[in-house]
Amino acid sequence: MIQALFIALSAFGLLMALGTVFARNLVNAALFLVAFFFVIACQFVLLEAEFMAAIQVLIYIGAVTVILMFGIMLTRNIQGDETTTVSKRWRLLGLGAFGTVCTVLVLGINAYQPWTDLAVRPEFPVTKDSTTPRGQAILSMTPTVGREMMTRYVVAFELAGLLLTAALVGAVVLAQHDSTDIVNAKAEKPGTEPAVTGS
């Protein structure tokens, strides 16, 4: 039954992805993308990782899509009547690239040889059991994620934090209005002196 659910969900997701690529109107394409993100969240739930599903909805639909919409609406004419078209030559090249990628993927997956030093992963439990490590990790996903972030993946975590801080500081700097204009305006008013000469 889970198999049927997975196939139905994936088919729907592929349709949404195709809609994103082929839609003429940009905002419609963004909406198809939202649906696709939601389907990815459902796939996470099928894999028993509902923490990841919630994070997917929160980050991708709640933040990335909003930024995307802002970008579309502030840089296009106001109702987005322009549609996007692609010239014939680029279409042929795109098709060729897609065919190559598909071929490589199919051949690679069919001929999969596991690496010999790959760690043995615990099996998928037949009964939902809280005594295996995997079962316990599923039950306590959030503490597991927190612990792993602070011990095993702490370098990546800190680097991501650094990147986000840089983005935040950059946004604040870009959005600040120029204080030299205020200083010049002060200089023109009679009887006042600017307190500082720089910005």
Partner 1 sequence: MSPFDMTMTPETNLMLAQSIYYDKVDLWLWIRWGLYLFAGFFGVFPLIVAYIVLAERKLAARFQDRIGPNRVGPFGLLQPFADFIKLIIKESIVPKGANGFVHLLAPMLTLISAFLVLAVIPFGVGLAPVDLPSGVLYMVSVSSIAALSIFLAGWSSRNKYSLLGAMRGVAQLVSYEIPQVMSILPVILWAGSLSMVSIVQAQQYDQGWFIFSPPGILGFVLLLIASIAEVNRAPFDLPEAESEIIAGFHTEYSGMRFGLFFLGEYLNVFAVCCLTTTLFLGGGSLPFQSYFAGRAEHMLAAPFDASKDQILKLNAHHEFPLNPGSGFRIEITNEAGRSEAFQVSHRTGNDLYLLANRPVDFQAGANARVTAAARPDFASPWHFSNLIMIPVFFAKVFFLIFVMFWIRATLPRMRADRLMAFAWKTMVPLAIANIFLGAIWYEIVIRPAGGYGHKLVGWAVTGPLTLAAIALVFRINRNSYQANDPERRPTLISRTGESLLAATTQGQ
Site of interaction with partner 1 (CB under 8 A)? 25, 27-28, 31, 34, 50-51, 53-55, 57-58, 61-63, 65-66, 69-70, 73, 78-80, 127-130, 139-142, 182, 190
Q: How far apart, in whole angstroms, are the C-alpha atoms of residue 52 and residue 40? A: 10
**16 with 35: CB under 8 angstroms?**
yes
Residue number, 118 or 196, with CB nearest to partner 1: 196
Strand-pairing partners, residue 83, are 25
Beta carbon of residue 54, minimum distance to partner 1 (angstroms, whole number): 4
**34 with 61: CB under 8 angstroms?**
yes
- Stated length of the chain: 199
Residue number, 118 or 126, with CB nearest to partner 1: 126
Beta carbon of residue 189, minimum distance to partner 1 (angstroms, whole number): 9
Beta carbon of residue 90, minimum distance to partner 1 (angstroms, whole number): 27
Beta carbon of residue 139, minimum distance to partner 1 (angstroms, whole number): 6
Residue number, 15 or 27, with CB nearest to partner 1: 27
**26 with 84: CB under 8 angstroms?**
yes
Beta carbon of residue 128, minimum distance to partner 1 (angstroms, whole number): 5
Residue number, 78 or 120, with CB nearest to partner 1: 78
Q: Give me the phi and psi of 162, to 5 degrees please.
A: -60, -45
CB atoms within 10 A of CB 138: 19
Task: Concatenate the DSSP letters of all residues of 151-178 into one string.
Answer: HTSHHHHHHHHHHHHHHHHHHHHHHSPP
Residue number, 6 or 135, with CB nearest to partner 1: 135
